[in-house]
Amino acid sequence: MNADDHIMLARLIAALPPAPRGWVGAAQELPVARRGIDGIVARAVADAAYRERVVADLESALADAGIEPTPPLLDELRERFRSI
Amino acid sequence: MAAVQGSDAQLVARCRRGEAAAWDELVERFSRYVFAICTQGFRFAQHDAEDVFQDVFTRVYAHLDRLRDDEAFRPWLAQLTRRACIDKLRANGREAPVEELEPSELDETLSMLDEALTIHEAMAALPENCRDILDRFFAQDESYRTIGDALGLPAGTIASRISRCLDKLKSLMEETDADARLEAG
């Protein structure tokens, strides 16, 4: 095996550094977050006062449910509330 | 760096069946690829890259059922990431046709990242110490001393180990190529 092969392999290995651990962890939590959003929506359907509080502050609603309020999850919750 | 177990298609099928461990594995397996498309392909800064990264995996989770061919997961993911990056550029106020928003050398970068992912998947077949040492040195940019301390090896032996591990990886790639040629007839 020559030096060029080493350089080519090294370059390709280096091209994929790890994503930050926190990002990976948040993405892995998506199924749990989805279930949490389902719970928020179900409660909001049944409880008008709770629904108003959630609409007023989506971030807190997610955080209170133990879900990190990332922009995609906030968008999803907003979207779900539009159809209630 | 975790060992890759099973093909992409098998992993996608397990995700569809609702196996929590499979979703964790899918994110782990493709997180570097999505991260690299955001930061190298589109040159997003960390903050925007993080938004796109989460957006991509949210879309994957939501739309995995729409994937018609599990074998095509990787190109589907690349395309989905590309679209999410364009959406982010537009959300940041860039108004232009897609071809003007995408960096000029994007196709070459994506092709290189695709090749890099293939190499990383091939590394899964290496002994764990080889996989670890190559990933730490090249992908995580760790020094000989840091690697030596982490793996309990004399720092002076790291360079030769790296060289031997690259030889093993090259042999593996050649075997895989030969097998693929045989299977193709």
Residue B6 — left, alpha, or beta (φ > 0 → left; ψ -120 to 50 → alpha)? left
Q: Is residue A38 part of a domain?
A: yes
Contacts of residue A27, Cβ cutoff 8 Å, sequence gap at least 6: B27, B31, B53, B54, B57
CA distance B185 to chain A (A): 27
Closest alpha carbon within chain A to B163: A6
Structural domain harbouring A68: 20-82
- Residue A9 located in a structural domain: no
Does a structural domain hold residue A14?
Answer: no
Residue A65 lies in a domain: yes
Report yes or no on A60 lying in a domain: yes
Distance from CA of A29 to the nearest CA of B (A): 8
Per residue in B77-127, pLDDT tens?
999 999 999 999 999 887 777 777 888 899 999 999 999 999 999 999 999
Number of domains chain A contains: 1
Band (pLDDT 50/70/90 cuts) for residue A1 is: low
- pLDDT, tens digit, for every residue of B124-138? 999 999 999 999 999
In this predicted model, what pLDDT tens digit does every residue of B18-65 receive, in sequence order? 888 999 999 999 999 999 999 999 999 999 999 999 999 999 998 998
End-to-end CA distance of chain B: 34
Per-residue pLDDT at B144 exceeds 70: yes
CB spacing of A13 vs B134 below 8 angstroms:
yes
A51 inside domain: yes
Cβ distance of A17 and B163 shorter than 8 Å: no
For the entire predicted model, the pTM comes to 0.86
Q: What's the pLDDT at B78? A: 96
Give me Rg for the CA atoms of chain B. Answer: 18
User: Could you tell me the fold of the domain covering B126-185?
Assistant: Arc Repressor Mutant, subunit A (1.10.10)
Q: How confident is the model at residue A25 (pLDDT cuts 50, 70, 90)?
A: very high
CB B179 within 8 A of CB B122: no
Q: What is the pLDDT of residue B149?
A: 95
pLDDT in the model for residue B53: 97
DSSP one-letter string for B91-102: HTT--S-HHHHS
Domain coordinates in residue numbering, chain B: 1-124, 126-185
Burial of B158 (0-12, 13-18, 19+ CB in 10 A): buried
- 3.30.420.40, 3.20.20.80, 1.10.1740.10, 1.10.1060.10: CATH of B1-124: 1.10.1740.10
d(CA A58, CA A53): 8
Average pLDDT over residues B68-82: 94
The percent helix, strand, coil of chain B (3-state, each to 5) is 80, 0, 20
Q: What is the pLDDT of residue A37?
A: 93
Residue B29: name the closest of B17, B46, B12 by CA: B12
The pLDDT of residue B5 is 62
Q: Which two tokens stand for residue A66?
A: 């133990």
Residue A68 confidence class, pLDDT cut points 50, 70, 90: confident
pLDDT of residue B2: 55
Distance CA A28, CA B58 (A): 10
